[in-house]
Chain A
Amino acid sequence: MPLSLQLALAACGVSLLAACSPLILRGHTMQRIALSLLLAMAGLLAMSAGFSGLISGGGSITLPFGLPWLPLHAELDALGAFFMLVIGSLLFPVAVYSHGYFRNEQRITPLLVFMPLFALGMMGVVLAGDALAFMLFWELMSVSSYFLVTHEHQHLENRKAGFIYLLMAHMAGLLILGSFATLYAAAGSFEFAVMREASIEPFWASAAFLLAAFGFGTKAGVIPLHGWLPDAHPVAPSNVSALMSGIMLKVAVFGFIRVVWDLMGPGDFQWWWCALILAAGSSSAVGGVLLALQQHDLKRLLAYHSVENIGIILIGIGLAMLLAHFGHPMLAALGLIAGLYHTINHAIFKGLLFMGAGAVLHSTGTRDMESMGGLIHRMPVTAVFFLVAAISISALPPFNGFVSEWLTFQTALMAPQMGGALLMAIVPFSAAMLALAGALAAACFVKVFGVVFLGHARSKMAAQAQEVDGWMQAGMAIPAIFCLLLGVLPVLFIPLIDAVPQMLLHVSLADSVHAHGWLWLTPVSASQASYSSPLALTGMIIIGGLVFWWLHPKGRVIRRSRMWSCGNPHVNARMQYNATGFSQPLRRIFWGVLQPDEHVHVERRFHKLLTTKVRYTVHVGDLAVKHLYQPIGRLTLSIARWLNTQHQYGIHTNLTWTFVTVILLLALFA
């Protein structure tokens, strides 16, 4: 058994051990230490499994347990190894962070059981070598995360969110099961190795693709299947939200790539699959960020950003599918790498953002951005890490988010003309949507950072916030460093990911990426496009340093004074721009898409010109919920109600129904 697989199985074993530890350990501190220590170990093991799997390849074994006639298989290939790396690189910092975060947590035992199980489920999905193991661990992941979401089940809101989550997770599971069933029908075995070799008819391939796309799309939160996501993420404990948003959504991406790219393969692709994925990606990217901009609950906002980033990942993968379908494997590899790079980037910076949000929540006791402000003075370290993540997610150099978006742009720009007019337009159009999403994300994070950390405190809680402890700071420091490293040294990291396109497309980009040395990232060739993050960073440090040094002769102190208030002496914290105000222009511009529910209530006394009070309320609902989920819910309810009345007609009606059913069945099968 190769080392990488051993490490991966060890990571799973450590998680299982962690889940069992409350059987022995009783004290709060002991439990906390066990959780963070074992999860951190699992994370490190998963990371090293990922690295060694990507570098030296993996292998597969038949596990000694399972059903007697259906043994379970574990396998670690390049794709699995990459996602092990993704899981490990966030699991480790989150484990460190949890040690501080759970300090004041009263009921730690359920978390101690379900967090490791959740991690185990995700790693198991990635390691699964057959459909049975995949589904088993998939459900383990869904169910354990349900218990994590409803951890604070004393609030009705949390139970509701948990229910919707469970419902949609199981619907997704059912669809994925259908997809595997279709593949099983073609291959005659649940083993992935057999499925890979089997050929499948185009019609059934399309069926399997659609089932997989909708199933994994639901779990990944692609618009319009994202209904559970903005409710479930905010109510879970923040470190769990970090894991859910950072890795669980990526596991869904993994599942999609596994089924569509690996088990079926580029030869089965049809052009409309690619167009569908591109359209889904573009609409998720723009829709997610537009909805995120309208939120004032910090964690809900971040949840919508997950929708956006899944969209960006899908744009990369969709471009890759399109290029692979039309026979440009090199460019397809570039698109795939762009998608995967964004996968790991998003895992890291979104994990960091949720941890930062958790720190803020921990200190202020609220998720509502409208009562924060000025936290940069009270929580300087958290603010720095949050800023790093905000720059990364806004796709700005020199951090990592920019690299993956840049690669996606390059893929779109280099795509030659393919197919008819629709495809001709959809590639640049999705690139434009990506640009829009990236720029709107920047706007959104100016809003988040500006409203939460800058300005004056808007409430007492915010004014008295305390910096979080060292463990939480350390937990946030690790991904922040990853953000910088992945942003500055993409040339060293891309050859690692390159194993995945090598496995799926049998082409390698490592040579052309490396062609100009480690300084320059040149996806295809230097004359087409190049970006040198180290040089840009060094250049900026040199220029900035020179300017600072030149402008800062000793003895020139900065005079502090009151802020300029246009002559009005009564300026208070409530006069600042808040989150709702910041996004007002966009609300107005995208009125048709957002359909906000706005009310202005003006109170007047004595005369219509003498206004005493103005009250403005706005609620931006989710259009998908309004026009898709609620109608489906109503339809289900009305059918149930109809059935209910049928039930109450008495024995004769019931007998008649039974009789009609029997007759119908006979007619159908006779």
Chain B
Amino acid sequence: MIISFAQQLIDGLAALMLLVSFALLAQHRMLSVLHWFAAQGVLLSITAAVVAYSSGHDELYASAAMAFLLKGMLLPWLLWRVIRQLHVHREVEPLMNNAVTMMLALAITLFAFHVIHPIENISELMTRNTMSIATACVLLAMLMMMTRKKAITQVVGFLAVENSLFFAAIGATNGMPLIVEIGIAFDVLIAALIFGVFFFEIRNTFDSLEVDAMQASLVDKDDES
């Protein structure tokens, strides 16, 4: 069974993508979460470039460049600045035991495979294998949003969902039309900027970036009024 080199490369990248999603879940420190998030962005851009090269869709090169600049560099840097300037406590505070989260994540990955695998067989594209991995990554990123206390980790989770969707798009249809992609990219950028501004505002209002603390504070206010 000989598989073309590009195919092997894409499969390898997909596996790395899955690995990064797990690594994001497993991290203890905010800074390493950002590193892995940046790695995810870089991986995305490499995947886009490989698919662009092997399938001849030239506009994917643009996507690749954009992914690299935006997701690999700009967004992690923005988040890093937020962390530094707000002096957010540098530990990621999970709601669940890490080992339990990991086992849950494995189960989710299996579930994704179980659901997507029958669909994959319909597709003829070289990249079809990556579909179930992309789905698993989306679910894992959502799991990350669910199981973390800090608002910043939730934002990273949100951005990771977007990354995984982008990955799914490359895998399923060789990428979205460039114009849509640019639109989404700017949306994400704006969203991140807004998040950043919000963090500052939230901090001023609640003195904390933990979601639970915000809720508690709101309840207090309701009681007072």
Q: Do chains A and B touch in the complex (CB under 8 A)?
A: yes
A residues within 8 Å of B by Cβ? Answer: 420-422, 424-425, 592
Q: Which residue in chain A gives the minimum CB-CB distance to B115?
A: A421
CB distance from B106 to the nearest CB of A (A): 8
Q: Judging by beta carbons under 8 Å apart, are A421 and B97 in contact?
A: no
Number of A-B contacts (CB under 8 A): 13
Judge whether B117 is part of the interface by a CB distance below 8 angstroms: yes
Q: Judging by beta carbons under 8 Å apart, are B100 and A421 in contact?
A: no
Render B81-124 as a binary contact track against A, CB cut-off 8 A, 1 for contact: 00000000000000001001000000000110110010000000
Besides A421-B113, A421-B117, 8 more A-B contacts (Cβ < 8 Å) are A420-B114, A420-B117, A421-B111, A421-B114, A422-B114, A424-B110, A425-B110, A592-B97
A421 vs B136: C-alpha distance in the bound complex, in angstroms?
13
CB distance from B96 to the nearest CB of A (A): 10
A422 vs B106: C-alpha distance in the bound complex, in angstroms?
12
A422 vs B111: C-alpha distance in the bound complex, in angstroms?
8
CB distance from A377 to the nearest CB of B (A): 42
Q: Which residue in chain B gives the minimum CB-CB distance to A589?
A: B99
CB distance from A262 to the nearest CB of B (A): 33
B residues within 8 Å of A by Cβ? Answer: 97, 100, 110-111, 113-114, 117
Partner of A592, one of B100, B110, B114, B117: B100
B111 contact set on A, CB distance < 8 A: 421
A425 vs B117: C-alpha distance in the bound complex, in angstroms?
14
Q: Judging by beta carbons under 8 Å apart, are B110 and A422 in contact?
A: yes
Q: Which residue in chain B gives the minimum CB-CB distance to A592?
A: B97
A425 vs B108: C-alpha distance in the bound complex, in angstroms?
12
Q: Which residue in chain A gives the minimum CB-CB distance to B113?
A: A421
Q: Is the interface of B mostly helix, strand, loop or mixed?
A: helix
CB distance from B91 to the nearest CB of A (A): 20
Q: Is the interface of A mostly helix, strand, loop or mixed?
A: helix
Q: Which residue in chain A gives the minimum CB-CB distance to B118?
A: A420
CB distance from A79 to the nearest CB of B (A): 36
A592 contact set on B, CB distance < 8 A: 97, 100
A422 contact set on B, CB distance < 8 A: 110, 114
A512 vs B151: C-alpha distance in the bound complex, in angstroms?
61
Q: Which residue in chain A gives the minimum CB-CB distance to B111?
A: A421
13 contacts between A and B (CB under 8 A): A420-B114, A420-B117, A421-B110, A421-B111, A421-B113, A421-B114, A421-B117, A422-B110, A422-B114, A424-B110, A425-B110, A592-B97, A592-B100
CB distance from A393 to the nearest CB of B (A): 27
A422 vs B117: C-alpha distance in the bound complex, in angstroms?
12
A644 vs B111: C-alpha distance in the bound complex, in angstroms?
50
CB distance from A436 to the nearest CB of B (A): 13
For the complex of A and B, the 8 pairs showing the least CB-CB separation, nearest first, are A421-B114, A421-B113, A421-B110, A425-B110, A420-B114, A592-B97, A422-B114, A421-B117
Q: Which residue in chain B gives the minimum CB-CB distance to A421?
A: B114
CB distance from B117 to the nearest CB of A (A): 7
A421 vs B118: C-alpha distance in the bound complex, in angstroms?
11
CB distance from A593 to the nearest CB of B (A): 10
CB distance from A431 to the nearest CB of B (A): 15
A420 contact set on B, CB distance < 8 A: 114, 117
Q: Which residue in chain A gives the minimum CB-CB distance to B112?
A: A421
A421 vs B113: C-alpha distance in the bound complex, in angstroms?
7
A422 vs B97: C-alpha distance in the bound complex, in angstroms?
24
A425 contact set on B, CB distance < 8 A: 110
Q: Which residue in chain B gives the minimum CB-CB distance to A590?
A: B99
A592 vs B111: C-alpha distance in the bound complex, in angstroms?
24
B97 contact set on A, CB distance < 8 A: 592
A421 contact set on B, CB distance < 8 A: 110-111, 113-114, 117
Q: Which of A421, A425, A592 has the most CB of B within 10 A?
A: A421
CB distance from B37 to the nearest CB of A (A): 28
CB distance from A364 to the nearest CB of B (A): 39
B114 contact set on A, CB distance < 8 A: 420-422
A421 vs B115: C-alpha distance in the bound complex, in angstroms?
9
A421 vs B117: C-alpha distance in the bound complex, in angstroms?
9
A339 vs B97: C-alpha distance in the bound complex, in angstroms?
35
CB distance from B151 to the nearest CB of A (A): 26
CB distance from A85 to the nearest CB of B (A): 40
A425 vs B113: C-alpha distance in the bound complex, in angstroms?
11
A424 contact set on B, CB distance < 8 A: 110
CB distance from B18 to the nearest CB of A (A): 15
A592 vs B98: C-alpha distance in the bound complex, in angstroms?
12
B100 contact set on A, CB distance < 8 A: 592
B110 contact set on A, CB distance < 8 A: 421-422, 424-425
A421 vs B110: C-alpha distance in the bound complex, in angstroms?
6
CB distance from B73 to the nearest CB of A (A): 37
CB distance from B66 to the nearest CB of A (A): 34
A346 vs B21: C-alpha distance in the bound complex, in angstroms?
43
A421 vs B100: C-alpha distance in the bound complex, in angstroms?
20
CB distance from A474 to the nearest CB of B (A): 48
Q: Which residue in chain A gives the minimum CB-CB distance to B116?
A: A421
B117 contact set on A, CB distance < 8 A: 420-421
CB distance from B68 to the nearest CB of A (A): 34
CB distance from B170 to the nearest CB of A (A): 23
A424 vs B97: C-alpha distance in the bound complex, in angstroms?
26
CB distance from B57 to the nearest CB of A (A): 31
CB distance from B59 to the nearest CB of A (A): 35
A167 vs B106: C-alpha distance in the bound complex, in angstroms?
40
